[in-house]
Amino acid sequence: MPRSESALPGRCDFPAAVAGVPSYHRTGADRTEGLLCVLAGHPTLAPNAGSVHTAAMSLKNAAFLALIGTLLLTILLAADFIKTVSGVLNDVVPAMALLRSLVYLLASLSVTVFFYVFNKAQSR
């Protein structure tokens, strides 16, 4: 469907009569109109993009936040690994649980090292 030249930038001028769409969906709120525009393949933007979208999260900040999260997870998995080793030594936990816990710990360590190196590689 061609867009009219009088349409506002970022707004979808979805036609009033659409086959197969009930009238109560066509006259509704902005959410319904936005959904219909997306389903029709028309690009839409937020009405006031300057105040809705912020650029406060840089790649360096995101890498640092991911590093903190994976570091906390690694600490938790290290504590679980120590608990599992203690359980295996006391014959309370099956030995296969030790393998699972070791794999989880090594995977978490590798992701933490990746985020550490990735964070250091980002320029300020």
Give pLDDT, residue 25. Answer: 44
What local confidence, expressed as pLDDT, does residue 78 receive?
97
Residue 5: both structure tokens together: 């030249």
Give this prediction's pTM: 0.55
Count Cβ atoms below 10 Å from residue 84 Cβ, excluding itself: 22
pLDDT of residue 5: 46
Name the residue ranges covered by the structural domains of the chain. Answer: 1-53, 59-121
Give the CA dihedral 12, 18, 24, 25, nearest 10 degrees.
-50
User: What is the length of the chain?
Assistant: 124
pLDDT of residue 6: 45
- Residue 122, pLDDT score: 87
pLDDT attached to residue 74: 97
Tokens of residue 87, six digits: 């359980």
Mean pLDDT split into 10-residue runs, the chain, 124 residues: 48 54 48 59 57 71 94 97 96 94 97 95 80
Q: Are 14 and 37 in contact (CB under 8 A)?
A: yes
Considering only CA atoms, give the Rg of the chain: 26
Per residue, the 3-state secondary structure of 17-40, as one string, reads CCCCCCHHHHCCCHHHHHHHHHHH
